């Protein structure tokens, strides 16, 4: 019975927020962990994540980053990228708890260039909230399922990083000594 609950939770599609956008949202509690420590752990995770661009907008309790997921299409044994999904990652901390959400999902399809490489077909993303036509409905549903799976994986990694006590402040770059030629 536990297996069915866990399997159902992983296959659950992304929910809609109050604005109608797809969102992955979770609130977690960590008793007796101060807000500063949670913020340092979140920032350490974002700096170490390879799929997230850390163009961080950071306040004292909110940190934002943008990321990208590659969606693969598999046929028998062969796999090829069919597109990428851009998203925004937000994390907010308080004393003893934190919340995080992934939102603003935009799909950018790939096409082959003249050298056989898969490249983005356009630079403008298609919001995942847009309903596809009848011809693309099955493919669009598979994209959303793949995005849900990737969001669950990212959320599990983030929760592990936040629960890890070994993560401390991100390393601070040492100042390079400046040599003065005027004073000798």
Question: The domain spanning residue 103 has which CATH number?
Answer: 3.30.530.80
Token match 């992983």: residue? 10
Establish if 179 belongs to a structural domain.
no
Residue 4 lies in a domain: no
> How many folded domains does the chain comprise?
1
Entry field: residues in the chain:
184
> Closest by alpha carbon to 106, among 142, 65, 67, 78?
67
Residues 6+ apart with CB under 8 A from 67: 49, 51, 52, 53, 86, 87, 88, 89, 102, 154
Below-50 pLDDT ranges, the chain: 1-9, 167-169
Secondary structure of residue 183 in the 3-state scheme: coil
The answer as to whether 157 is a domain residue is: yes
Residue 54 belongs to a domain: yes
56 in a structural domain: yes
State the burial class of residue 22 (Cβ atoms within 10 Å of its Cβ: 0-12, 13-18, 19+).
buried
17 within some domain: yes
User: What is the C-alpha separation between 182 and 155, in angstroms, rounded?
Assistant: 54
Specify if 169 maps to a domain.
no
Predicted local distance difference test score (pLDDT) of residue 115: 92
The range of the structural domain enclosing residue 80 comes to 11-163
Residue 14 DSSP one-character state: P
Assess contact for 101 and 81: CB atoms under 8 A. no
Asked if residue 177 is part of any domain, the answer here is: no
């Amino acid at each position: 019975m536990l297996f069915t609950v866990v399997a159902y939770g992983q296959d659950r599609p992304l929910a809609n927020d109050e604005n109608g956008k797809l969102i992955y949202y979770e609130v977690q509690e960590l008793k007796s962990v101060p807000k500063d420590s949670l913020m340092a752990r979140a920032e350490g995770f974002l700096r170490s994540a390879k799929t997230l661009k850390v163009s961080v907008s950071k306040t004292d309790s909110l940190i934002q980053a943008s990321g990208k997921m590659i969606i693969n299409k598999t046929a028998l044994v062969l796999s090829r990228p069919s597109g990428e999904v851009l998203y925004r990652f937000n994390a907010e901390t308080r004393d003893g708890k934190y919340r995080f959400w992934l939102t603003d999902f935009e799909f950018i399809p790939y096409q082959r260039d003249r050298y056989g490489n898969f490249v983005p077909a356009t630079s403008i993303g298609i919001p995942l909230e847009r309903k596809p036509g009848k011809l693309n409905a099955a493919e669009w549903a598979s994209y959303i399922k793949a995005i849900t799976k990737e969001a669950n994986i990212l959320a599990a990694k983030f929760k592990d990083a936040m629960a890890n006590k070994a993560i401390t402040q991100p390393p601070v770059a040492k100042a390079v000594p400046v040599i003065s030629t005027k004073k000798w």
